[in-house]
Amino acid sequence: MCRRLLPAAFLILFLIGCGGSEPDDPVPTPNPSNLQVDVEFIGDGIVRVDFTATNALYYKVSFGDPGSSLERVDGNTATHQYSDKGQYSIVVQAHSTEDQFVVDTERIVMNNENMGLDPNTGYETPDSYPGYNLVWRDEFDGTSVSDDWTFQIGDGCDQGICGWGNDELQYYKEENTKVENGFLTITAKPESAGTKAYTSSRLITQGKQSFTYGRIDIRAVMPKGQGMWPALWMLGESISEIGWPNCGEIDIMEMVGGTTNNNDGTVHGTVHWDSNGNYANFGGKTELEYGTLSDEPHVYSIIWDEQFIRWLLDDVEYHVIDITPGDLEEFHQPHFFIMNVAVGGRWPGNPDGSTLFPQEMRVDYVRVFQKP
């Protein structure tokens, strides 16, 4: 123990040596953590972003518009109005100091609904092309399906292809189709019919409207969700005599619904045929830059001539096949149209708990153009 009396000159040194201490190191500023970001679509292009984080003293937000940058905001909320449809990245930084922060990015799609636009706003094609004549069209402007279409009813068993040859889960009914406001709408819904747990519709122009070659445009809005399988396609008129795949099949568009690999935003175009006694197919696909095929109308097209079939989405070519080889004779014969929404099947798989019903495919027009 240091208790003896010392001269005053030694007192300061004594206090430092026996009872004094060095100043404490400054307490470090804790890093932010547990950043939570919630995005709410208000309508008319407006979004509200709420954010919280542990140890955050302030926040910076960027809404991802061209030329935008991170800006400091007061409080835990920020709002923004977008002027254009598209996909955007909202970036939120939670700061405890200027150099200490955590970040979260939320990707959003500003589609027709979120922008407060007419749901029918989307890509359109003209009703004339240089070098082509418009030879047939259905604009679905009335209140009923035209005589050019016939409903196929049932589950395919009466044709010897139960489940329509693909283990599909729907029973086709006429009642699942309506024509109003310039669109033909096919509705798929959970409803018992026959031995099936879902109903939908399938329409064909067989024996009424069939075509060889030309440009075909179909403007439509797709359903979405796991197990949904909408299709706009064609079969050879000879199917009744020689069967499938000998008659040929041209799939103008198919979608196999689901969120995996953005299935709801992917278009498939395919042909099927008989190649010297063997089944053959050749397909391609393309994916939307953002969003899903249910967000707004798109135009699905083929340009079909003596040499090629080309597939287009909104006038952009994404797939082509040379049909001049001799084993592709099927594609130089008349084909009729089919429109349907299947539920389940070997390709898309079955609906699950994430699939919301009812689902709709809405068709605005079908147009066929041919060279004179």
The reply to whether 96 and 154 lie within a common domain is no
Do residues 349 and 226 lie in contact, with contact meaning Cβ atoms separated by under 8 Å?
A: yes
Residue type, 280: A
The pTM of this model reads 0.89
Q: Beta-carbon neighbour count of residue 260 at 10 Å?
A: 10
Per the annotation, the verdict on 249 as an active-site residue is yes
Residue 22 domain-assigned? Answer: no
pLDDT digits (tens, 9 = 90+) for 175-198: 999 999 999 999 999 999 999 999
- Pairwise CA distance, residues 16 & 283, whole Å: 86
Q: How far is 180 from 145, CA to CA, in rounded Å?
A: 10
Instruction: Provide the token pair at 88.
Output: 């955007």
Q: For each of the chain's 372 residues, which pLDDT tens digit applies?
A: 444 444 444 444 444 444 555 556 677 889 999 999 999 999 999 999 999 999 999 999 999 999 889 999 989 999 999 999 999 999 999 999 999 999 999 999 999 999 999 999 999 999 999 999 999 999 999 999 999 999 999 999 999 999 999 999 999 999 999 999 999 999 999 999 999 999 999 999 999 999 999 999 999 999 999 999 999 999 999 999 999 999 999 999 999 999 888 899 999 999 999 999 999 999 999 999 999 999 999 999 999 999 999 999 999 999 999 999 999 999 999 999 999 999 999 999 999 999 999 999 999 999 999 999
Active-site option among 254, 296, 330, 360: 254
Contact 323, 307 (CB under 8 A): yes
* Parallel/antiparallel/unpaired status of strands 196-200 and 170-172: parallel
- For 22, counting Cβ atoms within 10 Å of its Cβ (0-12 exposed, 13-18 middle, 19+ buried), the class is exposed
Catalytic residue from among 249, 296, 330, 360: 249
Residue 96: CATH number of its domain: 2.60.40.10
**CATH number of 172's domain:** 2.60.120.200
Claim to verify: residue 109 and residue 138 sit in the same structural domain: no
Is residue 254 annotated as part of the catalytic site, yes or no?
yes
Contact present, 353 and 238 (Cβ < 8 Å): no
Q: Which two structure tokens, joined as six digits, stand for 297? A: 């109308």
Residues 45 and 180 in one domain: no
Is the residue at 8 inside a domain? Answer: no
> Is residue 28 a part of any domain in this protein?
no
Mark whether 155 and 261 lie in a shared domain: yes
- Separation CA 166–CA 304 (nearest Å): 27
Specify whether 165 is located in the same domain as 232: yes
Residue 268: domain span: 133-370
d(CA 105, CA 91): 5
Task: Give the gyration radius of the chain's Cα atoms.
Answer: 32
Contact 371, 211 (CB under 8 A): no
Q: Within this chain, do residues 101 and 143 fall inside the same structural domain, yes or no? A: no
List helix spans (H) across 263-338.
none
Return mean pLDDT, the chain: 94
**Residue 6 in domain:** no
Residue 121 resides in a domain: no
Q: Are residues 107 and 148 in the same domain?
A: no
Structure tokens at 101: 């922060």
39 & 164 share domain: no
184 and 225 housed in the same domain: yes
Count of domains for the chain: 2
Q: Is residue 146 part of a domain?
A: yes
